[in-house]
Amino acid sequence: MKHPRWKTAALVLAVFAVTAACDEPRRDSTETTTVALEGAQRAEVKLRMGAGELRVRGADQEALLEAEFRFNRERFRPDVNYRLFEDTGILEIGHVRRRGIPLGNVRNTWDLSLTRAVPLDLDIDLGAGESRLDLRGLALSNVDIDMGVGEMRLDLSGPHRQGFRVKIDGGIGSVRLTLPSETGVRIKVDKGLGSVDTRGLSKQEGYYVNEAFGRGELTIDIDIDAGIGSVDLRVEPAGRI
């Protein structure tokens, strides 16, 4: 593992267990944000979430982003930045305050809807919490995910317009990856301290592949550095709900 993120995640857990600090005032807040493409023909989306629940889905919408943020600490107030570089829109979402560990009752949820109209590069860096990434229908070029501590469900099923690459750097927790049946998939798993379960995949020269692999022009290449925890890989038929 090039960057042993599971060691960092383990340190975070240890600090949670032994650290006592003054807590911030709690006040439930909700903010909504819309970010227009402003003529961009493609977009790079960078998400940096320290702790909480992340929900991402694709939608048939004109705006690059339609978002709702719910939080109860000032440190979790979202910082949304967008700029154009030639024909590429660059969207970055993080926290106003990035340092410190919140204690007590923490509420921080990002509900993000991304457009299906342009190709997207996704770069997601997670801390502690849960993520539900429903990427069905998005025109993906590249997906890079760094997990921290928690649970992630990533849905890549359904038809795709182009092949793309996915890299998942695991931390401590579980990963459930739902895969398409009609697009070729090739997965390499660097197993850490945990388990790998598969459904609808076979082993071929050190890779897990689905039945569509090698039968068409499109391939989704997935590289998983498992960390500590479980990896669940499953192929789902097209048209499922």
Give the DSSP letter of residue 16: H
pLDDT at 241: 41
**Residue 18 pLDDT more than 80?**
no
Higher local confidence (pLDDT), 22 or 29: 29
Sequence-separated (6 or more) residues with CB below 8 Å from residue 14: none
Assign 11 a pLDDT band (cuts: 50, 70, 90): low
The total of other beta-carbon atoms located within 10 Å of residue 192's CB is 19
What are the structural domain ranges in the chain?
26-146, 150-241
- Residue 97 CA, distance from chain mean position: 21
pLDDT beyond 60 at 164:
yes
The CA-atom distances, in angstroms, between 142 and each of 89, 111, 168, 170, 235 are 15, 21, 11, 17, 20
Distance (Å, whole) CA 220 – CA 117: 20
